[in-house]
A and B are shown apart, each in its own frame.
Chain A
């Protein structure tokens, strides 16, 4: 197990701070959109996967069925399967420690594990396990104090947070086209379909990348 030098420790700290910041907006938005305080808190500890929690809060607040939305959230979280395949053996620990080591597998900790080994994986994983729930709790408290969230533009923060998170992935042209098609489908069907359904229907836009990628492979 490689140890962690100063630069690496600083990098991990910065990543955890950024995660905490997203969590603050997540907690505030969740409570401001009418969810009980326990929801962002429980999800932040138990699910510990930001994008899917944001998806859950956004779609259920819009009227989506929580069970159907949870299944969509699982689709977003399915990337953890290839993460587990990619991690070098033993990184998540042995025996009972592996229960925790597996839970702290996330986008950030996997990146650090692949570049810097097990110590970096654990430091980042535990850091996120602290920063994400702590931020969500602070945000939830802020959200329950602010009454008229629209006057402060809080409703614009939610799409802005998600957009900032996915933007790096949109630099890939195929993904960008699929994403634009998805946005068009969701917006066009919003007036007619029950709330929450348009976003799920937009998933068919994945088909946009099927033929183009196939050609590239040949």
Chain B
């Protein structure tokens, strides 16, 4: 067990190393001089030279990379060119809205998707199953902004039930915090719900065909008990895996959703950084998000033995 945990934890290092290398090389391999790109169109030669020196771009590539890794190791993600402030601080400032939206969306999706998937698998082929599957294909195809603006026009502008846009911190006003989260959560949650409902249905279909389900039914257990305690419990590993890998999809949606609802989160920070060519911020955000993604999936991998005692390492 501990051997596996150690090995699994160690395995995240090469992945993060590769991510760091990709993020590092991205800027260096881009067509054109990175210093000139950062300086913008109207920069003088001295400006460009100054930026090059400031970023250490005049040093050998390997030296730059090692030095950069050393900084990362002590939690220094660099300094924003545009705002002249540490990138880590900028990210931490913006983390609350993004985290709140991600957690509320995951909760919403899990609560909705698992019953949907179980129901669809239980009555496979019926109209319930077909409409749930059709809805999930639809949710994969409708752009987040169409759902988002639709909700804003319907619930905020027409019915005046919920705030149109923006974000309020939980510590500032808990009620306003939740009211601001409702529409973005629904807009963003539909894709994630569709993804989870599909995987739940697929794995449930497999487990419902197993002998132990027939045994459970044969000994007269109530159907909900069979479905939840026997089938769903055994189907939980692929579902939980998808909750983890689906975070990649979720984060992409978060960036767009934050833009639709004018939420000042990490997505907004990233877009502003791209528009201002603030590379240290872009690099810092990509590294942080990839790091979180890898860690969450590590945590999920390590919980498998809790979900399914048959899994022993």
Q: Do A and B form a real pair?
A: no
**B residues neighboring A (CB under 8 Å):** none
